[in-house]
Structure 1
Amino acid sequence: MTSKLATQSPWRALIADDEPHLAQYLRSQLALLWPELEIVHIARNGVEAADRIAALAPDLAFLDIQMPGLNGLEVAQGIEGATRVVFVTAYDEYAVEAFDQAALDYVLKPVKNERLARTLERIKTACAPVQSYARLADALARLMAPPQQPRLRYIRAARGDLTSQVAVEDIIFFHADDKYTVITTAAGEHLIRTTITDLASQLDPDQFWQVHRSTLINLAFVEGTRRDEASRLFVRMKGQAKELPVSRAFVHLFKAM
């Protein structure tokens, strides 16, 4: 992969933090340490950050981890382009060790110039591909994992005025849709309010894979995969006309297929 510097095109970055004064402080420090860096947007929450990253495709995204809507880890999981992530975190030394082991870029709060400068220098001089996304996915999973809960066998879900017991083995995939999560089965769609993150922690990981921050699929219904002209990966589910996009953080799961 060619170094960004070799193209002589300006770097573009997005900052996401729900505390405006911290976002502005980071912006001011970046202006001092890297004057050529263009800040294309400052997002106030994770949902806005995910939307703007998808629309603007910045080279860098400085993501606070604790944000409303979507946290920084969930935003990173959903990135489908080449945006490189730098986590801005207040996590303690034990959590930070997970970042180090996965070769992720991060800076601790309160942001110190010396640490930020080292991160920027590593980014500017890197000629290799950005993060190893297999390791990224593993590190995010470790940091986000809640305490182990019993595996779900049935889910109570609404379909119109009727509330049903849906057997987990009959579910083709889950997809987060605004305030609800949609359950898709061969019989139709049902709605629940449980988040994808909570579902992932309660489902059998050998049966259900998360392929996007908003999507969980049942491997029993996977028909195949396809790459488009931009090398983006999509998964096809049995009996479903619509393909499901796979975020780059989860592409490695399909290498054996």
Structure 2
Amino acid sequence: MSPDATAMIVDDEPLLREHLQTHLARLWPALRVVAQARNGREAVELFEREAPQVVFLDVHMPGMNGIEAGRAIAGRALTVFVTAYEQYAVQAFEQGAVDYLVKPFEPGRLEATVSRLQQRLAAEPGAAADPAEAGRLDAVLERVARQLRVQATGAPWLQWIKASVGSTLRLIPVDQVAYLRSDEKYTLVAWTGGEALIRKPIRELVDELDPSCFVQVHRSVIVNLRQVEQVTRGPNETADLHLVGRPETLPVSRSYLHLFRQM
């Protein structure tokens, strides 16, 4: 017997909200949809008032998008991301979201999602998410939210990095950069022509670099995926990256290991 539960559906398209609710009523009669929201800000407000156990959350919406709303409610509900852009949902799913649906969703795919939600609720009645799991989800949602903000503004990805080498100002082509590594004051830029120190921190650079090539693999390291030769798994869900033509290795912390599961 399927467990009783409450849910909220968030999408800026009324027809899509109705379509999802209709299918949910057929697949999960014991699920009660207590709220529908048109955007992220409304979703957060309704969530605080209704406290649903399950949230179906569209990624792309005007104003506060679904990723930003997901960060606001992370850890307090079982979240299913709904998007036409699968890569965003996959990142969130791997880090703690219960599931994702790609528009237009197939009824069979939704049925599998419903089954997964029911299993989670039956196993953990009254519990939304593990705190550690919520923390991992929040970290990946923060990165995805930055990517979406850059895309929304139309800002181009960084093409050159300015660095002082001795008394010379160098313009380093971003596509030649192997990795960037920060300490407390500086960021080391390692590229095919050498190394240089800059003052811009990792947290700013990660917003400006094309995420299809550059990914953060540690709180202090960004790597160019095109420069990765192999990945060596380590203990406690960590790994080391070996780069093309370079002797050094780079650490991958457990929060970022999912990026290399398919490599």
TM-score (norm 1): 0.51
Pairs within 5 Å for 1:1-257:
10-79=4-73, 82-92=76-86, 94-104=87-97, 105-126=99-120, 127=123, 130=129, 132-146=133-147, 205=203
What letter matches 1:121 in structure 2? Answer: S
Measured after TM superposition, the shift of residue 123 of structure 1 is 1.2
1:78 match: secondary structure: helix
* Residue correspondences, number: 148
1:66 match: secondary structure: coil
**1:199-247: CA deviation from partner (whole Å, max 9, x where unpaired):** xxx98649xxxxxxxxxxxxxxxxxxxxxxxxxxxxxxxxxxxxxxxxx
1:41 and 1:97, CA in 2 relative to 1: closer, same or farther beyond 3 A? closer
More helix by percentage: 2
Aligned residues with identical type, % of pairs: 35
- Once residues 102 and 54 of structure 2 are traced to their aligned partners in structure 1, the CA distance between those partners, rounded to angstroms, is 17
Measured after TM superposition, the shift of residue 122 of structure 1 is 0.9
Measured after TM superposition, the shift of residue 71 of structure 1 is 0.7
1:204 and 1:58, CA in 2 relative to 1: closer, same or farther beyond 3 A? same
Measured after TM superposition, the shift of residue 82 of structure 1 is 2.3
- Once residues 202 and 61 of structure 2 are traced to their aligned partners in structure 1, the CA distance between those partners, rounded to angstroms, is 28
- Once residues 83 and 37 of structure 2 are traced to their aligned partners in structure 1, the CA distance between those partners, rounded to angstroms, is 16
1:58 and 1:142, CA in 2 relative to 1: closer, same or farther beyond 3 A? same
- Once residues 203 and 14 of structure 1 are traced to their aligned partners in structure 2, the CA distance between those partners, rounded to angstroms, is 38
**1:103-146: CA deviation from partner (whole Å, max 9, x where unpaired):** 42211110211111111111111225636112202221332233
- 8 A Cα contact 1:26 1:111, kept in partner: no
1:75 and 1:113, CA in 2 relative to 1: closer, same or farther beyond 3 A? same
1:110 match: secondary structure: coil
What letter matches 1:139 in structure 2? Answer: V
- Once residues 26 and 140 of structure 1 are traced to their aligned partners in structure 2, the CA distance between those partners, rounded to angstroms, is 23
- 8 A Cα contact 1:102 1:135, kept in partner: yes
2:73 match: secondary structure: coil
**1:35-65: CA deviation from partner (whole Å, max 9, x where unpaired):** 1100111111111111000111000111111
- Once residues 33 and 48 of structure 1 are traced to their aligned partners in structure 2, the CA distance between those partners, rounded to angstroms, is 26
Partner of 2:208: none
- 8 A Cα contact 2:57 2:66, kept in partner: yes
Higher relative contact order (CA 8 A, sep 6+): 1
- Once residues 79 and 99 of structure 1 are traced to their aligned partners in structure 2, the CA distance between those partners, rounded to angstroms, is 14
**1:161-201: CA deviation from partner (whole Å, max 9, x where unpaired):** xxxxxxxxxxxxxxxxxxxxxxxxxxxxxxxxxxxxxxxxx
The CA RMSD measured in Å over matched residues stands at 2.8
- Once residues 32 and 88 of structure 2 are traced to their aligned partners in structure 1, the CA distance between those partners, rounded to angstroms, is 30
- Once residues 31 and 135 of structure 1 are traced to their aligned partners in structure 2, the CA distance between those partners, rounded to angstroms, is 31
- Once residues 91 and 110 of structure 2 are traced to their aligned partners in structure 1, the CA distance between those partners, rounded to angstroms, is 19
- Which sections of structure 2, spanning at least 5 residues, go unmatched? 151-156, 162-199, 205-254, 256-263
- 8 A Cα contact 2:59 2:65, kept in partner: yes
What letter matches 1:77 in structure 2? Answer: R
- Once residues 202 and 33 of structure 2 are traced to their aligned partners in structure 1, the CA distance between those partners, rounded to angstroms, is 41
What letter matches 2:139 in structure 1? Answer: D
Partner of 2:181: none
